[in-house]
Amino acid sequence: MNNLTTETAAAANPLLDFSGLPRFDHIRPEHVGDAVNRLLEENRAMVAQLEAPQSQVTWENFVEPLEDATERLGRAWGIVGHLNAVVDTPALRAAYNENLPKVTEFWTALGQNLALYAKYRALKDSAQFAALSPARQRIVDNAMRDFRLGGAELPQEQKPRFAEIQEQQAALATRFSENVLDATNAYTLLVEDEARLAGLPDDVRAAARAAAEKDGKPGYQFTLQFPSYFPLLQYADDRALRETIYRASTTKASELGENPDWDNSANIDALLALRDEEARLLGYRNFAEVSLVPKMAQTPEEVIAFLQDLARRARPYAEKDLAELRAFAAAELGLATLQSWDVSYASEKLREQRYAFSEQEVKQYFPEPKVIDGLFRLIQTLFSVTITADATPVWHPDVKFFRIERDNKLIGQFYLDLYARTGKRGGAWMDDARGRRGRAGRIQTPVAYLTCNFTAPAVVDGVVRPALLTHDDVITLFHEFGHGLHHMLTQVEELSVAGISGVEWDAVELPSQFMENFCWEWRVIEHMTAHADTGAPLPRALFDKMIAAKNFQSGLQTLRQVEFSLFDMHLHYDFANQGDGVQGLINRIRSQVAVLVPPAFNRFQNSFSHIFAGGYAAGYYSYKWAEVLSADAYGAFEEAAAASGEILDVNVGRRFLAEVLEIGGSRPAIESFKAFRGREPSIDALLRHHGMAA
């Protein structure tokens, strides 16, 4: 497009306006098809131009124009995908699904383009390559790797099938996600007898009452949104009620769920078959090997050995956790047999008895505005930046927008969408709206989406009370913000390796898990608490009890993560040879690893969106892998505190900023870790943080 047609198109279609931030107040489902078609046309024209012979391939005449065109397509489609996740409507879903195959087809064709691959190779082999910056060299190396994984080297007759596989996988992943969302949105549990809600906190009852009133129903209404259903499992004295909501939650999107149309079983089988076929076309034995090519871990065997070692170390602690819980449940709660729907309830009661506090008591001290202030204060102290409220169009009235500055200069911005609602995908995540990029002496600053699903502010007696966060919610917020900092504080000016771009998948959780540690520091916590009724800060005595309880059941929690990670890795590694189906595999993993085995009806895998719709296929292990890095990195702050008494050591913070956050994906993650820590990573800090050190 020339400048005039670009400006005209942008005026008519906000998805084609790249002059600033997305115009969320103007974007409509009908804009999607037009924007996608125009951008695909523009990209295909650019690709055709770049395929033509060139006397010399340079960064400026080849890589830069290709990045320009693909960035616009990526940004526009990123907005569509984001809206599809946070404000799902029938019209938007239809537009997304209609255009997804076209976008997938383009990226697949691009990844298979031998002419472009040859030009990257020519650039790599040229004398000019040595003169490129390390960041640009890494981009060229990454591109060549991605072309190989994209099927560029396949025989011509196999490329159409490879393209079909990519399109089918994209469609299946979307369908998987939609089934989980639809099953979650459709389910309601109405409780008319208030006596059945004994044990439930007042704010949970108030939210359930408001939900019922909104639908014109009597009583109290619960859903499968986490903030609605989990308190039932944690606090409801009525065992049958706990079993009902547990069964609904663990069978959603399965053959045992409410609607057979939302059963993900066939989608799982189809995805696994396609991934296996893709791997074999590319010359790998299994999809796990394909998944690990751009990661830190080298082989599936290495990952499995890491997970089995962690399971072996955690098992004695998990067995002790479970024995204590069963003894307590039998003696104190009259539960002779501990069922899965009793675990959260009995655990909360045991925690209250052992440590003399409840999560509900703690929650009263964490009103969301105060938590946000405390989080910002920490970041401003550690990384010498300022965070202030900003203004721009948003997709929902709940969404807030902020800017990050250093020395009065803008370095990044972010959207904060914190509350659960109908039409919004569950969970918490960070995504990039725009990456950092330097062009012609100007800097395009990065922008992030930070999304959570916390309980929304409640209206009590006509008064809006701020949302109250559990301490787990606070940890989740810090986690996602760590991803955001990685994206926004980068100083790399090459788009493909700025911020989180180009970072190995199993290292991308390092900054997020690193940030979680500060949720256990009094120097941080004391500035982010104020009791919902009195405004009093969290008492130090209560905080000390929280610290004492920090590793409560950490053995069980570690084994649970290892179970999910091994299930994921074996699914994509040797599952095809076993012949006992997906349920058979998860049963087998549980028999080897778990000390607490869920009931036979549990269909956890049918809503395991991370690996079937979220990019974590043969990569779920990365949470634990990166936790080794993050715990060890945080050890540098602990060592500084041991010497000076100050955990918020600005010098260590500045070093972490310079060697990890600012560097982004411009060098291998292990080099960034070693530059910060001065040595190879060690598992010792992880075990110590979880109370499992020898």
Asked whether residue 671 carries a pLDDT value surpassing 60, the answer given is yes
Asked whether residue 7 carries a pLDDT value surpassing 90, the answer given is no
**Domains of the chain, each with CATH number or no CATH:** 3-153 (1.10.1370.40), 187-261 (no CATH), 285-359+553-599 (no CATH), 368-548 (1.10.1370.40)
405-452 pLDDT, tens digit each: 999 999 999 999 999 999 999 999 999 999 999 988 999 999 999 999
Mean pLDDT of all residues in 537-557: 96
- pLDDT band with cut points at 50, 70 and 90 for residue 591: very high
236-290 pLDDT, tens digit each: 999 999 999 999 999 999 999 999 999 999 999 999 999 999 999 999 999 999 9
CA–CA–CA angle 442, 447, 452 (5° rounding): 175
If you write DSSP's letter for every residue of 564-603 in order, what string do you get? HHHHHHHHTTTGGGT-SHHHHHHHHHHHHH-SSPPPTT--
User: Nearest Cα to 113, choosing from 74, 72, 144, 84?
Assistant: 144
Mean pLDDT of all residues in 298-326: 97
What's the pTM value of the predicted model, to 2 decimals?
0.93
Contact 106, 116 (CB under 8 A): no
Q: Which amino acid is at 685?
A: A
Mean pLDDT of all residues in 296-322: 97
User: Using CA atoms, how far apart are residues 90 and 303, in angstroms rounded to an integer?
Assistant: 41
Please identify every residue annotated as catalytic.
Answer: 480
User: Using CA atoms, how far apart are residues 405 and 503, in angstroms rounded to an integer?
Assistant: 24
What is the structure's pLDDT at 4? 46
Run of H or E including 452:
strand 447-454
484: Cα within 13 Å, side-chain hemisphere: 30
User: Nearest Cα to 395, choosing from 88, 607, 624, 128?
Assistant: 88
Phi-psi map region of 404: left, alpha, beta (phi>0 left; psi -120 to 50 alpha): beta
Q: Give me the phi and psi of 399, to 5 degrees please.
A: -75, 135
State the first-to-last Cα distance of the chain, in angstroms, to the nearest integer: 64
Contact 576, 286 (CB under 8 A): yes
User: Nearest Cα to 140, choosing from 62, 75, 43, 50?
Assistant: 62
Asked whether residue 352 carries a pLDDT value surpassing 70, the answer given is yes
Rg (CA), the chain: 25
User: Going along 332-436, which residue ranges are E strands?
Assistant: 386-389, 400-406, 409-419, 429-434
Asked whether residue 198 carries a pLDDT value surpassing 50, the answer given is yes
The per-residue pLDDT of the chain, averaged, comes to 96
Asked whether residue 575 carries a pLDDT value surpassing 90, the answer given is no
